[in-house]
Amino acid sequence: MSDGTALAGPDGVPRCPWALSTEDYVAYHDEEWGRPVHGDDVLYERLCLEAFQSGLSWITILRRREGFRAAFSGFRIAEVAAFTEADQERLLADPGIIRNRAKIEATVANARVLAEWSPGDLDALIWSHAPDPATRQVPKTLADVPAVTPESTALAKALKKQGIRFVGPTTAYALMQACGLVDDHLETCVARGAPL
């Protein structure tokens, strides 16, 4: 039983305990989670996937990510913004994604909002909510990692104010963790402060 501190994986390297349950998680943890992500389309993808994850395990989304990319035109904002009602019905029948009508509708509606923004606006808005790393305690155990922060609450409010749907403070914080706005790798985790 873990006390929430980093644990040695099969290769003997210490990692955040959540990363050790599957090979998919190990790769995601080591290569992606907590690394800075920039670009409107890729941040839109991450925002959408975090919304689809709401109420589910992240592994469910991670294992369907390629199916999501195929279904949503690689999460290219301009292309998803042009989706029709027929496209949304097609998505509801697609076994490669999570077939949740509200989440599908929000994904398309959000693309329509973002298609009206100038290039770089989504990236700038999201990254403007990154906290100063010097103000954050380095987590020693999983219990030290918050689910919501003042910054994630502010980010969720800012996105909602702009018309972005299906994002609350918890989803916003998961996005911040995944996209490197914060480094929540545990103190003794091999990926803590990893080169980018």
Q: Which residues are catalytic?
A: 28, 50, 58
DSSP state of 21: S
Q: Measured in whole angstroms, how far is the alpha carbon of residue 46 from the centre of its chain?
A: 4
Residues 6+ apart with CB under 8 A from 111: 44, 77, 78, 80, 81, 83
Q: What is the Cα–Cα distance from 22 to 26, expressed in whole angstroms?
A: 6
| 128 to 70, 90, 159: CA distances (angstroms) | 30, 36, 12
